[in-house]
Amino acid sequence: MVAVEKAGIPAVGIAARSFARAWQSCVDGWGQPTTAFVTIPHATTGQQADFIRNMVDEQIEDIIRGLTEVQITANVNGPNGTNKSSELFTVEMDPSQSGLNAVNHFFAERDWSDGMPIIPPTPESIENMLKGTKRQPNEVVMVMEPGFGLATVEKIAINAVMAGCQPEQFSVLLAAIDCLGQPESNHRDMQVSGHTEAPLILVNGPVAKKAGINVGTAAMGPGVVNTANTAIGRALRLCLINIGYCKAGTGDPNFIGLPTKFGMCIAENEEVSPWQPYHVDLGFDNDESVVTLVTVTGPTDIIDSGSRSAEDTLSNLASMMFYPNAGSGGYLRGRQSAQVGHTNKRVPYQGPYHPIILSPSRAVIMAEAGMSKHDAQVWLHEHCRTSLKELLAKRDVPRDADGRWIYHQEMQRLEEDPNATIPCLESPEQYLLFVTGGSTHYANFFYGTYGIASQSVEMT
């Protein structure tokens, strides 16, 4: 819509009322704040054609007005309301209750936090945080959407301080944002999606211990033992809010949200896992420190107390693979693609990846049965299947001029079999098995939405 307006062609957007602030935030960030739009009561997804038509028909006069009248707005400097590169603020504090809360009131008034108290990012604390990296403060790590904010090392450090990070955790956060900048993370779609998506940070290697990340009991829970896990995950979310301008109700139109959006960071419990670490699966050396980022929704708790064999445990995991929009043969229509930076180029990537967070004892059950991690992934790939007939009934697959499937022609022979099933996901490694936490009979399953991205961590 913005591109059409910039080309000199009048255009009017149509948005559900709950997305009105998100619309204005996006067009502000894209440099066309006067792009006209009208609102309708409800989102159109899943609605009947007549219902949608009636909602739009009620806005015809405003649509015509938007096409024929010049729109004027005072906000011409982007979503942050300023074109200044940086500013220094002074907040007066005193021992009173209001004085102690002055910094947080100041940030809340400007919508600069996740709603929880922050640590004041003083110049001294930011300078101390920057000791956790050799990278220059003005280095741009990525451009964060939807607000097109320049995620410099210094800005990331500011948000790391606010979240409660320590300098020894800063390199993990920087690596996670390096991952976010890779096309496979599809971070723009994650940021502006109405779906409850959030980045999950997976850490491997010596940096996990150096950063103080808890890999034992309650690794994804609250508590002092999880100070590093919480701070790193929260710091990434603050960067998405303050640099990417993904603010609740504006840049972030998520219809209901999830607590996972406050931040998630875990490390693999490599000492007790019977399998090789996940980063080794990806081709990194065992002694390297690596961060992997995957966008997910969920999780779902898997109770495995009744299992007596590896197949029992895997069957419990497989029982979670029922969500029709989380894979289910979508690869027959081709791989997903993501925009490369701020260009017209797009690159395909394999996805989604479904993280399965296993307690060590669940991994041991399979290892004791002689199963490698790859064996378990192959089992899941072979047993998590979907009906080809139902898939084709919902949406046909791309075909060439001769009627042959463009993708996975080897499966087209199954098209005439009404009972044929195909694997839900394209390949076994998309079942991302990650061992962490205490030894118990539980596991967590997340539905992935895009690809994965991994990055070596700078060790200082």
d(C-alpha 175, C-alpha 171), whole Å: 6
Report how far residue 268's alpha carbon sits from residue 219's, in angstroms, rounded to the nearest whole number. 10
Euclidean distance between CA atoms 74 and 434, whole angstroms: 50
**Structure confidence by residue, pLDDT tens digits, 319-371:** 877 665 567 889 999 998 888 877 788 889 998 999 999 999 999 999 999 99
Q: Does residue 203 register a pLDDT over 90?
A: yes
The answer to whether residues 151 and 341 touch, using CB atoms and an 8 Å cutoff, is no
State the amino acid at position 180 in one-letter form: L
pLDDT at residue 186 greater than cutoff 50: yes
- pLDDT beyond 60 at 83: no
Write down the pLDDT at residue 322: 66
User: Which of 8-17, 69-78, 287-296 shows the lowest per-residue confidence on average (mean pLDDT)?
Assistant: 69-78
How far is it, in rounded angstroms, from Cα 126 to Cα 166? 10
Question: Per the structure block, which two tokens stand in for 409?
Answer: 């022609």
The residue-averaged pLDDT of 23-52 equals 80
pLDDT at 68 over 60: yes
Domain boundaries, the chain: 2-68
The mean pLDDT of the chain is 89
What percentage of the chain has pLDDT greater than the value 90?
A: 58
Of the given ranges (25-34, 41-50, 229-238, 241-250), which has the lowest mean pLDDT? 25-34
Q: What is the pLDDT of residue 75?
A: 43
Cβ–Cβ < 8 Å for 217, 361: no
d(C-alpha 173, C-alpha 171), whole Å: 5
User: How far is residue 339's CA from residue 345's CA, in Å, rounded to a whole number?
Assistant: 6
